Chains A and B, each alone.
Chain A
Amino acid sequence: AQSVSQHNHHVILSEAASLELGCNYSYGGTVNLFWYVQYPGQHLQLLLKYFSGDPLVKGIKGFEAEFIKSKFSFNLRKPSVQWSDTAEYFCAVNTGGYQKVTFGTGTKLQVIP
Chain B
Amino acid sequence: GAGVSQSPRYKVAKRGQDVALRCDPISGHVSLFWYQQALGQGPEFLTYFQNEAQLDKSGLPSDRFFAERPEGSVSTLKIQRTQQEDSAVYLCASSLDWSPSNQPQHFGDGTRLSIL
Contact = CB atoms under 8 A, between A and B. Distances in A.
Interface residues of B, number: 29
A90 interface: yes
Interface stretch (B17-25, B62-70, B101-109): B101-109
A99 B103 contact: yes
Nearest to A41: B109
A96 interface: yes
B42 A104 contact: yes
A112 B93 CA distance: 31
B31 A99 contact: yes
Given A32-B102, A100-B48, A100-B56, 16 more contacts: A46-B105, A90-B42, A90-B43, A96-B100, A98-B48, A98-B50, A98-B56, A98-B100, A99-B31, A99-B33, A99-B95, A100-B33, A103-B43, A103-B44, A105-B40, A105-B41
